[in-house]
């Protein structure tokens, strides 16, 4: 992408309405535009990151054996009357009437609808286990939408639902989700800690929230600092192996880590004092096991191996896809702007031409741009006729992890400069070497 032809409406001034850094930078970097309280347009740069995050979520869900589909945003109220949640959900639910006066709602979540799909088509334990998920817009008429995409009213969520024949199989699905979520967040450069949580309106027995530590987080969290050292890394986990998956979950949930809703002062005080941490966190996901809560009330029954009809065991599992942009920025920025982790960056690398119009500089930039493209790497090439300082400021603000700077002086010596956004360190090398280095960095992402 050539910046002269792109749509990147950066703001020079700090927008007054933004109280936290991620919201400020998303507005300043031209990623989003507010259209109503808690409702945003995703401008091209923001949209690219959103799509990257979605892509990672899809890849990790499919890796775990979960199956994507797509349910609508609008749902009939009657489905929610079956589970009893139509009245329970309260003012957070956006209720709509169509021209026939039929009651509809904009889905805040999809347990009822997925249960309806399941009961229409699945009757036997032989078709289980089954986990279906989608990534779809939700609407919750939050009392206090704020912090940009962190607490929107319309927001993008991945929500998945497992269907299993018995409790053990459903707990395996729960564990599988936990591991797939850990992988998902790590690929985004995040440390998200699973914490024992409270089940709230979804209802159920077992639930963990995934929290990214950040001073601007809305949840108060209590944990053993050793929990922040745990990493899944590149280990291969066989998602069909119950014992192996359970062992990973045990590793990540044994140390004390809880939100204020489930905090237990006595257990917490047993941790060595220097490891006892109280902090704030952003909830980026939650997994629930709730058994037969929806299948029993909505008649989603399957025949077991004894020929009996039993309500199917279920759980639901959500990732805050749009909230993740805010969470990643809260976790990764400096006073100049965003620092995208390679996994989610809108462009892998930026090219800054220090002297637009200089024959050698222009040709070298074009050459780099095409060589990167040939390796499947789409650079953002700042080909505007701007001062170097302004170009650097834009690159720093939008946070691409790598920048190649091209100028006549370096080219006279056959070199360009490769700079890391994170460390600020620069290295001179030939254009070919810079392309090779970038390709190598992204090969593992």
Ligand X SMILES: Nc1ncnc2c1ncn2[C@@H]1O[C@H](COP(=O)(O)OP(=O)(O)OP(=O)(O)O)[C@@H](O)[C@H]1O
Q: Kindly state whether residue 162 participates in binding ligand X, applying the rule CB under 6 A.
A: no
Q: Kindly state whether residue 140 participates in binding ligand X, applying the rule CB under 6 A.
A: yes
Stretch that binds ligand X, among 9-17, 67-75, 316-324, 412-420 (CB under 6 A): 316-324
* Position among 152, 281, 346, 401 found at the interface with ligand X (CB under 6 A): 152
Nearer to ligand X, 181 or 369 (CB): 181
Q: Which does 358 bind (CB under 5 to 8 A by kind): Mg ion, ligand X, none?
A: none
Of the candidates 297, 326, 398, 21, the residue with the CA atom closest to the CA atom of residue 156: 326
Q: Kindly state whether residue 286 participates in binding Mg ion, applying the rule CB under 5 A.
A: yes
User: Which of the residues 95 through 134 are near ligand X (CB under 6 A)?
Assistant: 109
User: 3-class secondary structure for the chain?
Assistant: CEHHHCCCCCCCCCCCCCCCHHHHHHHHCCCEEEEECCEEEECHHHHHHHHHHHHHHHHHHHHCCCEECCCCCEEEHHHHHHHCHHHHCHHHCEEEECCCCCEEEECCCCHHHHHHHHHHHCCEHHHCCEEEEEEEEEECCCCCCECHHHECCEEEEEEEEEEECCHHHHHHHHHHHHHHHHHHHHHCCCCEEEEECCCHHHCCCEEEEEEEECCCCCEEEEEEHHHHHCCCCCCCCCCCCHHHHHHHHHHHHCCCEEECCCCCHHHHHCCCHHHEEEEEEEEEEEEEEEECHHHHHHCCEEECCCCCEEECEEEEEEEEHHHHHHHHHHHCEECCEECCCCCCCCCCCEEEECCCCCHHHHHHHHHHHHHHHHCCCCCEEECCCCCHHHHHHHHHHHCCCEEEEECHHHHHCCCEEEEECCCCCEEEECHHHHHHHHHHHHHCC
Q: Kindly state whether residue 46 participates in binding ligand X, applying the rule CB under 6 A.
A: no
Stretch that binds Mg ion, among 29-37, 47-55, 250-258, 285-293 (CB under 5 A): 285-293
HSE on the CB side for 373, CA within 13 Å? 11
Stretch that binds ligand X, among 40-48, 283-291, 304-312, 345-353 (CB under 6 A): 283-291
Q: Which does 348 bind (CB under 5 to 8 A by kind): ligand X, Mg ion, none?
A: none
Nearer to ligand X, 141 or 244 (CB): 141
Q: Which does 151 bind (CB under 5 to 8 A by kind): ligand X, Mg ion, none?
A: ligand X
Q: Kindly state whether residue 348 participates in binding ligand X, applying the rule CB under 6 A.
A: no
Neighbours of 166 (CB within 10 A): 13
Neighbours of 196 (CB within 10 A): 17
* Position among 60, 112, 186, 283 found at the interface with ligand X (CB under 6 A): 283
Q: Kindly state whether residue 323 participates in binding ligand X, applying the rule CB under 6 A.
A: yes
* Position among 139, 155, 381, 402 found at the interface with ligand X (CB under 6 A): 155
* Position among 148, 291, 315, 318 found at the interface with ligand X (CB under 6 A): 318
* CB 311 to ligand X: min, Å: 22
Of the candidates 13, 330, 336, 317, the residue with the CA atom closest to the CA atom of residue 148: 330
* Cα 173 to the center of its chain, rounded Å: 20
Nearer to ligand X, 209 or 382 (CB): 209
Nearer to ligand X, 253 or 353 (CB): 253
User: Which of the residues 235 through 274 are near ligand X (CB under 6 A)?
Assistant: none
328 within 8 A of 210, measured Cβ to Cβ = no
Stretch that binds ligand X, among 68-76, 152-160, 307-315, 373-381 (CB under 6 A): 152-160
Number of residues near ligand X (by CB under 6 A): 16
Nearer to Mg ion, 162 or 286 (CB): 286
Stretch that binds Mg ion, among 177-185, 236-244, 246-254, 278-286 (CB under 5 A): 278-286
Q: Which does 323 bind (CB under 5 to 8 A by kind): ligand X, Mg ion, none?
A: ligand X
Could you tell me the two tokens for 404? 């190649």
Q: Kindly state whether residue 23 participates in binding ligand X, applying the rule CB under 6 A.
A: no
Nearer to ligand X, 155 or 161 (CB): 155
Q: Kindly state whether residue 75 participates in binding ligand X, applying the rule CB under 6 A.
A: no
Q: Which does 152 bind (CB under 5 to 8 A by kind): Mg ion, ligand X, none?
A: ligand X
* Position among 189, 285, 315, 401 found at the interface with ligand X (CB under 6 A): 285
Q: Kindly state whether residue 286 participates in binding ligand X, applying the rule CB under 6 A.
A: yes
Residues binding Mg ion (CB under 5 A)? 286
Residues binding ligand X (CB under 6 A)? 109, 140, 142, 151-152, 155, 157, 200, 283-286, 318, 320, 322-323
């Amino acid at each position: 992408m050539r910046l002269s032809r792109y749509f990147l409406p950066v703001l020079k001034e700090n927008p007054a309405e933004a109280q936290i850094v991620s919201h400020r930078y998303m507005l300043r970097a031209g990623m989003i535009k507010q259209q109503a309280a808690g409702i945003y347009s995703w401008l091209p740069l923001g949209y690219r990151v959103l799509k990257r995050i979605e892509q990672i979520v899809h890849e990790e869900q499919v890796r775990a054996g979960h199956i994507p589909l797509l349910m609508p945003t609008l749902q009939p109220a009657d489905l929610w009357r079956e589970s009893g949640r139509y009245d329970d959900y309260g003012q957070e639910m956006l209720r709509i009437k169509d021209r026939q006066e039929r009651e509809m709602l904009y889905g805040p979540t999809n347990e009822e609808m997925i249960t309806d799909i399941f009961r229409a088509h699945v009757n036997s334990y032989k078709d289980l286990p089954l986990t279906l998920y989608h990534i779809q817009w939700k609407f919750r008429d939050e009392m206090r939408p704020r912090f940009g995409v962190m607490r929107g009213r319309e927001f993008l969520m991945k929500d998945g639902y497992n269907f299993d024949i018995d409790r053990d199989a459903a707990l395996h699905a729960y564990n599988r989700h936990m591991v797939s979520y850990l992988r998902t967040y790590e690929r985004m450069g995040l440390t998200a800690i699973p914490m024992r949580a409270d089940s709230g309106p979804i209802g159920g027995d077992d639930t963990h929230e995934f929290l990214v530590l950040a001073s601007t987080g809305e949840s108060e969290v209590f944990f053993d600092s050793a929990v922040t050292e745990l990493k899944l890394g590149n280990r291969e986990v066989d998602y069909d192996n119950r014992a192996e998956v359970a062992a990973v979950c045990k590793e990540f949930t044994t140390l004390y880590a809880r939100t204020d809703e489930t905090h237990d002062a006595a257990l917490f005080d047993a941790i060595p004092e220097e490891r006892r941490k109280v902090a704030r966190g952003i909830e980026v996901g939650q997994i629930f096991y709730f058994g037969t809560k929806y299948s029993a009330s909505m008649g989603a029954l399957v025949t077991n191996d004894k020929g009996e009809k039993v309500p199917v065991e279920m759980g639901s599992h959500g990732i805050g896809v749009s909230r993740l942009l805010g969470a990643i920025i809260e976790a990764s920025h400096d006073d100049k702007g965003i620092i995208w982790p390679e996994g989610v960056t809108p462009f892998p690398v930026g090219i800054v031409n220090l002297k637009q119009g200089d024959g050698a500089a222009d040709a070298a930039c074009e050459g780099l741009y095409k060589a990167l493209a040939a390796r499947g790497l789409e650079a953002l090439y700042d080909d505007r006729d701007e001062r170097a300082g302004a170009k650097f400021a834009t690159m720093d603000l939008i946070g691409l992890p790598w920048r190649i700077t091209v100028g006549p002086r370096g080219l006279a010596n056959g070199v360009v400069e490769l700079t890391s956004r994170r460390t600020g360190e620069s290295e001179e090398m030939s254009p070919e070497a810079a392309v090779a280095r970038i390709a190598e960095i992204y090969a593992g992402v």
